[in-house]
Structure 1
Amino acid sequence: MSRAGNAVVLGASMAGLIAARVLSDAYDSVTLVDRDALPDAAVPRRGVPQSRQLHVLLACGRQALDELFDGLSDELHACGAPLVDLNGQVHWYNDGYLMRRSASQLIGVGVSRPLLERTVRARVEKLANVRFHPSAEASALLSTDDRRRITGVLVTPRDGVPYRLDADLVVDACGRASRSPAWLAALGYPTPAEQRVAVDVTYVTRTYERDPRHLDGLLGALTNAVPTRPRTGIVAAQEDDRFAVALSGVLGEQPPLDDEGYARFAESLGQPLISQVVREAVPVGEPALMRYPASVRRRYERLRRFPNGYLVFGDALCSFNPVYGQGMTVAATEGLLLRRLLAGKPGRLWRRFFRGAGKLIDGPWSIAVGTDLRFPEVAGPRTLRVRLVNAYVHRLHAAARTDAVLGTAFLRVLNLVDPPHRLLRPAIVARVLRGGSRPG
């Protein structure tokens, strides 16, 4: 796969690290630029404000990261992060129905964002042709005179003189703060159409000492938001024998930060196993609040004109409602896509990547947006398909109380292992119709 040239990645968070790992096999040198001073320890950092929040690495994401970083799951496990059977070791309350558990091959990793990012960054730092430029920020793109190709970036260090980084490929992995639309417009290119779904999510994460008596000895619990109760609760085991608890509200609902208010919010979810952790477990550190106004998808795959030598990656392409835990997994699958494309025919990389990424994003986007549209206050087109799918999934949840096959089928889709249409296979539909009550 090796080819001559230099690549620059803007952003050294998870998406940027994934992109750098892939590019290190295809370019002579790879440079990561990040505005933060990158810590050696597994601690939250300013440039990743969500790093103190509970993160979910879906089964598909774990598999993809293991393919990109051989043995990563085992390394995280050796650091204390539990490997979790996402069906057999988690209580799932979907639309108020407790899903029947069974052993599955859907294995996740209970890991905090700082530990995951530090471990992955350490892997990337060991690559001989990769270097980091911390405490610096890209301020402009450089291009050929005809503006048909990006040739590098202008970098402004926090304390110093701006300098240029020449590159044969520049990848924007700056997340939701991506400046690519403005940079492209300045070069005379059209900006991508943007889809926004305003969900107004506020979530508060707090960490507790993990007691095996809680959650009946299992490693996680989740209850989803419904139109009559727009609140969510998640408990997930993590490294250092901790439980991370994330309570969230949509459409203006906000978990309080004080102990009593937080506990009452947990009790309002109606699932005693979750509220018991909040009431009884020993808290570690202070609660962390974050707001997420809207899911945003930028449709780069629809552009007909775009400069060569430039890509947009990860959350800069599509930023998902964090409640569904899809962001890191989609970035990892985009990394595998980029690896395949770099190993193939050269030319028009941007077109092939954006089209492929668009297809990867379609499934998780439809899951997240379709679910959010269950709430009447969320603006968006409620097509007949969306209404029928939501009614069908509600009925599936009811049937999954006693049918573990349905629970596993649902979790395979939720974990992005299977596409959503797999829930419409005749055998699955028959089980839903036999076991599901009609939506209330």
Structure 2
Amino acid sequence: MADYAEGHAVVLGAGFAGLFAARVLAEFYGRVTVVERDELSAGHAARRGVPQRDQGHELLARGQLIAEELFPGMTAEMVAAGAHLGDMSANARWILEGRRLARTRSGLSIMACTRGFRERHLRARVEALPGVTVADGLAVQRLTTTPDRGTVTGVVVARGGRERTLTADLVVDATGRGSRTPVWLEELGYGRVAEDKHRIDVGYATRYYRTPPGAFEDDVSINTLASAEVPRGGSTQLVDGGLTIVTTYGILGDHPPVDPEGFHAFVKSLATPDIAEIVAVSQPVSDVVRYRFPANLRRRYERLTAFPDRFLVLGDAVCSFNPRYGQGMTVAALEALTLRAHLAGRERPEPLTFFTDLAVSVLNDVWDIVLTTDLVFPGVEGERGDDVRFIHEHVGRLQAAGMRDGDIAVACLRVFGLVDPPAALFDQGLLDAVARVEEHSASNVPTA
């Protein structure tokens, strides 16, 4: 294993991607500094710099597993502080095409809590690591490099107009979708990074409530997914602080209103009344807040022919997905594991090799899932060739069978939760199970 003991790594951004990265970097570097623009010491609200901070957030089942691996005991710690833990299938209501998936125990956990709550607990664990410092209130100005611009040597930060330089053996950009790395690369002479954009124009609206005990029965969350027939969706979760969060969304400009009456009417327009029934017995404790996501965005760093040494990019700064699928935090956790693998076997990570591995081992499958699923909606632009139509039909069969069979539903949820790869949906055992469900269903359909 490479020896980084005397080295200093700097992470730009104290969101989930930056915190997961800092946790892994602390295994190798003697010092790790996380630089954050926002002030982190003021109360317990989510960071001001997160535009969707008040919306519902999910850590998928695979992300939950990774978080517990990297921070042992954090799940129990968060539950003790007010988060709600449940089984991904048995304690979550999944509604697709207006029908509920069948339920059985999956053995995989989901945790319902607010973004700020999860981020605070994660940050506290990172700050407790030896050699790690989280420095807030610092605006990143620019990178510093060797004279030939071939190696990044640090970063210039500023507070109150006063600049200082943090020298580093590795700089990791985890500043999110608004990352300035594309601009920095052009200024350094590396050219423009190619970007893939796919318009979806999702609009979100969220309101917080207090809900009487027992309203959720044994569930911690209820999820009504948008479909081609009803391109609106929403979720409601029991979260920390004794609160319930209700988030609704619509695509291609059909966004939920922010006035209370319009918001409630939007909730009632969903495919089933499950979420509306929760709202009907709950008391609102906040205004309605909105967030808009224009397009899936992927920056193709792996396609560049050159990239400065000792500099990497992670998280939404590389790829940001339609948030209705809840994949962002889990992808950040998966990327941290890729970073760990590259740190373990080399004197230092080689950027282009890292970006290629990131694309192959993490991003390609998730990107394909998102784009293919978005194409279910007729108004979304994109090619719908035979392969896309086949996948839509196949997934539709699986979901229909999953309404009747809990094991099939769990197989679908494992892929949705990024535990299994998409190829698992074509496992012969699963196909046989679907065929049996379809045969049984057909034999029980009354004839005219």
Please report the TM-score for the alignment, with normalisation by the length of structure 1.
0.95
1:107 aligns with 109
Aligned-residue offset at 1:348: 4.9
**Cα separation, 2, equivalents of 1:245 and 1:352:** 42
Aligned residues: 437
**Cα separation, 2, equivalents of 1:127 and 1:107:** 26
**Which of the residues 59, 64, 67 maps onto 1:62?**
64
Aligned-residue offset at 1:347: 4.6
Per-residue deviation, residues 257-290 of structure 1 (Å, max 9, x unmatched): 2222212111111312211112221122222210
Contact 1:204 1:287 survives alignment (8 Å): yes
C-alpha distance 40-76 of structure 1, shift in aligned 2 (>3 A): farther
SS at match of 1:301: helix
1:188 aligns with 189
Pair 1:318-2:319 in alignment: yes
2:310 aligns with 309
SS at match of 1:51: coil
Aligned-residue offset at 1:92: 1.0
1:423 aligns with 425
**Cα separation, 2, equivalents of 1:83 and 1:124:** 22
**Which of the residues 397, 403, 406 maps onto 2:405?**
403
1:256 aligns with 257
**Which of the residues 148, 151, 156 maps onto 1:149?**
151
Please report the TM-score for the alignment, with normalisation by the length of structure 2.
0.94
1:134 aligns with 136
Letter in 1 for 2:270: L
Letter in 2 for 1:274: I
Contact 1:169 1:310 survives alignment (8 Å): yes
Letter in 2 for 1:381: E
Per-residue deviation, residues 101-151 of structure 1 (Å, max 9, x unmatched): 111112111111001111111111122312232111111111111111111
**Cα separation, 2, equivalents of 1:262 and 1:160:** 42
**Cα separation, 1, equivalents of 2:31 and 2:202:** 40
SS at match of 1:147: coil
C-alpha distance 71-216 of structure 1, shift in aligned 2 (>3 A): closer
2:174 aligns with 173
Q: CA RMSD in A?
A: 1.7
Aligned-residue offset at 1:346: 2.3
**Cα separation, 2, equivalents of 1:74 and 1:98:** 29
**Cα separation, 1, equivalents of 2:300 and 2:435:** 37
**Cα separation, 2, equivalents of 1:384 and 1:179:** 38
Aligned-residue offset at 1:380: 2.0
Letter in 2 for 1:102: T
Contact 2:142 2:157 survives alignment (8 Å): yes
Contact 2:306 2:352 survives alignment (8 Å): no
Per-residue deviation, residues 386-440 of structure 1 (Å, max 9, x unmatched): 21111111121111111111100000000000001100011212333443599xx
2:351 aligns with 350
**Cα separation, 1, equivalents of 2:311 and 2:398:** 43
Pair 1:285-2:286 in alignment: yes
Contact 1:230 1:251 survives alignment (8 Å): no
SS at match of 1:285: coil
**Which of the residues 370, 389, 392 maps onto 2:391?**
389
1:297 aligns with 298
Contact 2:46 2:117 survives alignment (8 Å): no
**Cα separation, 1, equivalents of 2:384 and 2:392:** 10
**Which of the residues 86, 90, 93 maps onto 2:92?**
90
SS at match of 1:329: helix
1:327 aligns with 328
Identity of aligned residues (%): 43
Per-residue deviation, residues 180-226 of structure 1 (Å, max 9, x unmatched): 11101111113322111111001111122233332344221111111
Per-residue deviation, residues 269-327 of structure 1 (Å, max 9, x unmatched): 13122111122211222222100001101111222211110000111011011100000
**Which of the residues 12, 15, 19 maps onto 2:21?**
19
**Cα separation, 1, equivalents of 2:258 and 2:335:** 36
Letter in 1 for 2:107: Q
**Cα separation, 2, equivalents of 1:259 and 1:280:** 15
**Which of the residues 79, 82, 86 maps onto 1:80?**
82
Contact 1:237 1:243 survives alignment (8 Å): yes
**Cα separation, 1, equivalents of 2:178 and 2:40:** 18
SS at match of 1:306: coil
**Cα separation, 2, equivalents of 1:383 and 1:190:** 33
Moved more, 177-186 or 188-197: 188-197
**Cα separation, 2, equivalents of 1:353 and 1:74:** 33
1:35 aligns with 37
